[in-house]
Structure 1
Amino acid sequence: MTGAGGTITAVRIVRGGEDVPVDIPRVPAREAAERELSDPMYHEHDPNLLERGLDRFWDWVGDLFAGAAGAAPGGPLGLVVLVLAVVGLGAALWWRLGTPRRAVRSPETLFGGTVRSAADHRAAATAHAEARRWTEAVQERMRALVRSLEDRAVLDPRPGRTADEAAAEAGRLMPAHSDRLRAAARVFDDVTYGGRSADEAGYLSLCALDEDLRATKPLLTAGTSLETAG
């Protein structure tokens, strides 16, 4: 209550279960009330700025999906089918093309620092193929193919040779297989430096080329018009 002198003669402050009458002037009473109401206990359930922002974001996401479900043929079920189709398409592209790398490396040498025979490379390729590691199997079979050509003196042994160079040189001496040699070199570069994944079909194709080259005699002179099987 307010008295004639501008004071609050009976202010009841309830705190901690107690009802305490207090006589206090108006201005100090208002200040005391403001301090009391500023206590965090009165605001512990009020959402802060971040919480309000998150609530609005999730409301927007819900509205977005609700609108998409309404626009999609078949309603919510149609939206689910559409999402699954997009995910399936992405998975199929990833399986077919492999995991892309940030940058494609320039082609490097075909062989590493360790010198191995064609038979060793073929054995390694077979082991990888049996374990269904097609990328490694393709790499080893391509190395076996080129090493075999070097062993037969079709190609001069050259440590720094790349797969593309080997295919181009062998293709000039075995023109009937030049296209397949270039394709094999391209597959080797794709899986070794381009981040692609090889598959069983690519490996079997390379094996067939390796066997065909082993049975083929190269052109030794400019007057020879066709290569013959040996």
Structure 2
Amino acid sequence: MSGAGGATTARLLIRTSGGVPVDTPRVPAREAAKHELSKPMYHENDPNLLQRGIDRLWGWIGDLLSTASGVAPGGSLGLVVLVLVVIGLVAALWWRLGTPHRTVRSSDALFDDSPRSAAEHRTAAEAHAAALRWNAAVQERMRAIVRALEERALLDPRPGRTADEAAAEAGHPLPAHAKRLRAAARAFDDVTYGDRAADQQAYLDLRALDLDLETAKPLLASVVQGAVE
């Protein structure tokens, strides 16, 4: 309604318990209703804060998937196929590469500060293998391989050498075993830095390599030099 002096205040008619209408201004009535509805008795069955957050999250995810399915080839089915392909690629890369390796530091060297002979490393490796501790068995067998090559003067003893460096250097005088040496170093890195779990076969491969290297005849230095040139 409107009058000569401007718009009049809208009012709300409320009936009392006796049936007598009461003319109440709209704003106070709204505030009164709001105050009444804020009482705990009206919210006993409301979801808690956590549940409301979860509902909002699922709603957001649903909206996101709905939007993505609208632009993906084939609609919802195409989106599902795309997601499965991405998951498959990630799983394949993870299986192939393992957990990303750390940057090699001095503490990542093949040997610790208490040098032992190849025989001692072999004994430790066999003890770990007998207890089914394959990770430790692989580590000790790789140390035995490198130490044995140092004892035969096929590798110069060098503090801080890594398994990869040892395999690369040993591959020059022992080219017939270069591939297996690289595989052994990779197995050592996987269990030491890559959080991979070794198994019995991984240990047996290193053990067989160690035994083969004991009787392997290295190339003469002159022959190796000529092959490199």
**TM-score strictly above 0.5:** yes
TM-score by length of 2: 0.57
Gap change, CA 1:87 and 1:127, over 3 Å in 2: farther
Work out the CA distance in 2 between the residues paired with 1:223 and 1:205: 29
What amino acid sits opposite 1:199 in the alignment? Answer: A
Work out the CA distance in 2 between the residues paired with 1:167 and 1:63: 53
| Runs of 4+, deviation exceeding 6 Å | 20-23, 61-64, 82-93
2:121 matches 1:153: no
**Is the partner of 1:172 in helix, strand or coil?**
coil
Map 1:67-216; keep pairs closer than 5 Å.
Answer: 97-100=97-100, 103-105=102-104, 108-193=108-193, 195=194, 197=196, 199-200=198-199, 201-216=201-216
How many percent identity over aligned positions? 53
Counterpart residue number, 2:8: none
Instruction: List alignment gaps of at least 5 residues for structure 2.
Output: 1-12, 225-229
Q: In the TM superposition, what is the alpha-carbon distance from 1:116 to its structure 2 partner?
A: 1.8
Gap change, CA 1:97 and 1:136, over 3 Å in 2: farther
Q: In the TM superposition, what is the alpha-carbon distance from 1:150 to its structure 2 partner?
A: 2.1
**Is the partner of 1:173 in helix, strand or coil?**
coil
Q: In the TM superposition, what is the alpha-carbon distance from 1:213 to its structure 2 partner?
A: 0.9
Q: In the TM superposition, what is the alpha-carbon distance from 1:155 to its structure 2 partner?
A: 2.8
Q: Higher helix share goes to which structure?
A: 2
**Is the partner of 1:145 in helix, strand or coil?**
helix
Gap change, CA 1:163 and 1:95, over 3 Å in 2: closer
Q: In the TM superposition, what is the alpha-carbon distance from 1:204 to its structure 2 partner?
A: 1.9
Assess if the C-alpha contact under 8 Å between 1:168 and 1:182 holds in 2.
yes
Q: In the TM superposition, what is the alpha-carbon distance from 1:146 to its structure 2 partner?
A: 0.9
Assess if the C-alpha contact under 8 Å between 1:97 and 1:196 holds in 2.
no
What amino acid sits opposite 1:162 in the alignment? Answer: T
Supply the RMSD in Å over aligned alpha carbons. 4.8
Counterpart residue number, 1:39: 35
Q: How many aligned residue pairs are there?
A: 200
- Cα deviation per residue 1:88-143 (whole Å; 9 max; x = unaligned)? 98767656654445x55468422111212222322332343344443332221110
Assess if the C-alpha contact under 8 Å between 2:141 and 2:206 holds in 1.
yes
**Is the partner of 1:38 in helix, strand or coil?**
helix
Assess if the C-alpha contact under 8 Å between 1:173 and 1:218 holds in 2.
yes
Instruction: List alignment gaps of at least 5 residues for structure 1.
Output: 1-10, 73-79, 225-230
Work out the CA distance in 2 between the residues paired with 1:132 and 1:91: 28
Q: Which one has the largest radius of gyration?
A: 1
Work out the CA distance in 1 between the residues paired with 2:66 and 2:178: 60
Work out the CA distance in 1 between the residues paired with 2:195 and 2:97: 6
Gap change, CA 1:13 and 1:142, over 3 Å in 2: same
